[in-house]
Amino acid sequence: TIPPHTIVMKKVLELQQNPHSSFSKNQCSENETDSRLSALPEKLKQRLLPFQKEGIKFALERNGRCMLADEMGLGKTIQAIAVAYMYKAEWPLLIVVPSSLKYPWIEEIEKWIPELNPEDVNLIDNKTDIGRIQTSKVTILGYGLLTTDARMLIDALCEQHFQVVIVDESHYMKSRNAARSTILAPIVQKAARAVLLTGTPALGRPEELFMQIDALYPRKFGTWSEYSKKYCNAHVRYFGKRAQWDCKGASNLDELHLCLSKIMIRRMKDEVLTQLPPKVRQRIPFDLGKDASKEMNASIEEWEKLMRKLHSCSTETDNPFIQVMGLITHMYKQTAIAKAGAVKDYIKMMLQNEKLKFLVFAYHLSMLQACTEAVIENKVGYIRIDGSVPSSERIHLVHQFQNDPDKRVAILSIKAAGQGLTFTAATHVVFAELYWDPGHLVQAEDRAHRIGQSSSVHIHYLVAKETMDTFMWSMLNRKTCVTSNTLNGTKKSLEIEEADNEQWDFLNAAMAWVPNDNLQGSQDEMFFTHVRINTLWMQPSSCVE
C-alpha cells in the first residue's frame, strides 16, 4: 500500500508541473478597470474608500494576481472580495484562511455579495468533508486541514481546478517545508487569479516571503537557492562542530523592496487614513522581586555558558541547537510566571477607571490565567479567546465585547486572537508578554487600531527587566528594521515612548503570582463569559495556539 502522504505529494507535484502560464497577459486598461468597478454590488461599491479602489485596480492591472499587503486595519478583506467578484464568471472560488477566521469570512462574503445563498458557500469542517466542493460557488478552508494525511481532501481540491483563489494571512505559507505551504502553493500557481492578503508578509526576515512570491509568480525571484543568497545573506554557520546553512539574515533589501512593489501593494494607515486617531505605544519597564530575579539570573548564566561552549566548539551534544532552543523556551515560560504578579496588579489598576475598555494579550496559559484572575477578583465583565475556544464561538464573543458596555476587558491569546478580529470598542491594548517577531505584535495592536476606531489607541508593553523580555525587546527592534526596509522601503524601529518609572513603581513591589484556588469552580455568569479556571492550571501544555 502506498502511504497517503506519498499520494498527496504526487498530486501536488502534478499541479506544480502545470502552473498557470498567462500571469501577465490580458491586463485591464484604466477604462476597463473603472467599468468593472461600476459593476460591483451597490452596497460593496458604496463602502469602498478611494485607496481601496486603487488596491482593486492594482490587482486587475496584474490580471488578478497580486499580494494586498496593506497595514492591518485597512480593509484588505473587502478589497479581496471585490477582486474575486470581478472574476465571478470564472468561479468556483477557494478562500484559504486561518481556522479562527472561517466564520468571520462567511459573514463578510455574505454581507458584501448578497446574491449568494447560504448553500452557495461551503465551509469545510474536516479532512473528509468534501461532499459540496463540486457544487458550491465558494469554498472556505482552514490552513489546519492542509496536511499530508488529508488525501481525500487534497484530491477533491485538485480535481475542482479552482480558477480564483484568495489566501488570507498568507504569511502562514512562510515555511518552505511546512505541509500547508507545499500543498497550497501549487493550487495558487494553477489558478488563473490569486490574491494573497497579509498585513505582515514577512514577520521578521526576508526568507518568509519566498513561498508567497513563488506561489504567485514561480521563479520570478529565482530559485530558493538564488533568492536566499541574494536577499537572505545565506551562509554556512557552525553550531559547535555541526555546519548548516543559515538563511535567517537579510541583504540587498532596497532591491528586494523594488522587486516586491511590482507584485505587491502596501499602504500604511498614516498615508491613507489621515482622520484615524493615532496609535501611542509605551514601554513600561519594572523590576522583579528578589526571588524571581535570582531564578532568572541563574537561567541567564546557564544560557551564556552554553553559548560560550557553542562558539568554542566544545559541546559534545549531537544537536546543540535543540539544547539552546530548549533553554530559551524554558526562560520564556519562566519570565511569564515571574512577571505574572505584576501584570495582575497592573490590570487591577486599569480597572479602577470604570469607563475604560481594553484588550490584554498574552501567550502562556499561566499568564492568561493570571490576567483572568485579576478581572474575576474585581468582578468585572470580560470575554476570553484562546486556542481552546471553537472558531464558531469567537465571532460571538467579539460581538459581545463590541456591543456590551459591561464587557470591559478582552483577554486574548496572541496566536489565537491576534489577527482577523475587530475590537474597536477598546481604547487601550496591554501586552502582558512579548512574542518572537514584531509582525504578530503589530497584528495584535491593530485589532483596536483600524477602520472604525474613533479614539487614540494606547499600547502598553509590560517589560520585566533582566528577564527574557530584555533579549526579546532588542531582537524585536532589529527585526522591525529589517521588515520595514523590505516592505516599506525605510528603516524604522518600533516607535515607542519610555514610561515614567516613578508612575509604575508599584509594579516593582508586586507579590509573586500563584494560582488563585479560591476562584476554581466559580460560575457567576453575571460578570464573565468564557472561563475555564478549574481546568487551565491542570493542562499539561504551557501555551495555547
- The predicted-structure confidence for 284-298, as pLDDT tens digits, reads as follows 888 887 777 777 778
pLDDT band at residue 236 using 50, 70 and 90 as cut-offs: confident
Asked, for residue 286, whether it belongs to a domain, the answer is yes
Examine the pLDDT at 21 and tell me if it is beyond 60. no
Asked, for residue 531, whether it belongs to a domain, the answer is no
Tens of pLDDT, residue by residue over 22-58, are 444 445 666 677 778 888 999 999 999 999 999 999 9
Asked, for residue 540, whether it belongs to a domain, the answer is no
Q: Is 29 helix (H, G, I), strand (E, B) or coil?
A: coil
Bridging pattern class, strands 242-246 and 235-239:
antiparallel
> Are residues 96 and 189 located together in one domain of the fold?
yes
Are residues 325 and 491 in contact, defined by beta-carbon separation less than 8 angstroms? no
Last residue of a domain, one of 217, 240, 271: 271
Examine the pLDDT at 203 and tell me if it is beyond 70. yes
Could you write out the DSSP letters of every residue in 59-75? HHHTTTEEEE-PPTTS-
What number is the average pLDDT over the span 254-274?
91
Examine the pLDDT at 428 and tell me if it is beyond 70. yes
The DSSP 8-state label assigned to residue 531 in this structure reads -
Return the pLDDT at 502. 56
Return the pLDDT at 316. 54
- As a whole number, the mean pLDDT across the chain is 84
Return the pLDDT at 487. 78
What number is the average pLDDT over the span 464-473?
89
**DSSP H or E run through 285:** strand 279-286
Examine the pLDDT at 78 and tell me if it is beyond 70. yes
Last residue of a domain, one of 208, 239, 271: 271
SS (H, E, C) 434-460: CCCCHHHHHHHHCCCCCCCCCCCEEEE
> Are residues 110 and 57 located together in one domain of the fold?
yes
> Are residues 194 and 237 located together in one domain of the fold?
yes
For residue 11, give the nearest of 192, 211, 161, 183 by alpha carbon: 183
Q: How many CB atoms lie within 10 A of CB 484?
A: 18
Q: Is 281 helix (H, G, I), strand (E, B) or coil?
A: strand
CATH number (domain holding residue 348)? 3.40.50.300
> Are residues 317 and 213 located together in one domain of the fold?
no
**DSSP H or E run through 237:** strand 235-239
Residue ranges of alpha helices (H) inside 276-362 are 290-311, 320-351
Examine the pLDDT at 243 and tell me if it is beyond 80. no
Last residue of a domain, one of 233, 251, 271: 271
> Are residues 311 and 257 located together in one domain of the fold?
no
Return the pLDDT at 347. 95
> Are residues 292 and 317 located together in one domain of the fold?
yes
> Are residues 412 and 382 located together in one domain of the fold?
yes
Query: Domain range spanning residue 360?
Result: 279-515
Asked, for residue 11, whether it belongs to a domain, the answer is no
> Are residues 184 and 231 located together in one domain of the fold?
yes
> Are residues 260 and 292 located together in one domain of the fold?
no
Tens of pLDDT, residue by residue over 407-418, are 999 999 999 998
Asked, for residue 7, whether it belongs to a domain, the answer is no
Residue 142 CA to residue 124 CA, distance in Å, equals 8
pTM of the full structure: 0.74
Return the pLDDT at 15. 54
Bridging pattern class, strands 279-286 and 457-464:
parallel
Residue 132 CA to residue 143 CA, distance in Å, equals 18
Q: Which residues pair with 497 in a beta bridge?
A: 282
Return the pLDDT at 508. 62
Return the pLDDT at 311. 64
CATH number (domain holding residue 49)? 3.40.50.10810
Return the pLDDT at 244. 80
Asked, for residue 71, whether it belongs to a domain, the answer is yes
> Are residues 213 and 298 located together in one domain of the fold?
no
Are residues 432 and 362 in contact, defined by beta-carbon separation less than 8 angstroms? yes
Residue 343 CA to residue 18 CA, distance in Å, equals 54
pLDDT band at residue 14 using 50, 70 and 90 as cut-offs: low
pLDDT band at residue 533 using 50, 70 and 90 as cut-offs: very low
Tens of pLDDT, residue by residue over 508-523, are 656 666 677 666 444 3
> Are residues 303 and 247 located together in one domain of the fold?
no
Residue 384 CA to residue 374 CA, distance in Å, equals 13
Are residues 408 and 350 in contact, defined by beta-carbon separation less than 8 angstroms? no
Count of domains observed in the chain: 2
With cell 458550491, the residue in question is 136
**In Å, how far are 98, 261, 343, 513, 532 from 338, measured between CA atoms?**
32, 44, 10, 7, 22
Asked, for residue 474, whether it belongs to a domain, the answer is yes
With cell 523580555, the residue in question is 469
Tens of pLDDT, residue by residue over 86-121, are 999 999 999 999 988 898 999 999 999 999 998 999
Asked, for residue 115, whether it belongs to a domain, the answer is yes
> Are residues 75 and 112 located together in one domain of the fold?
yes
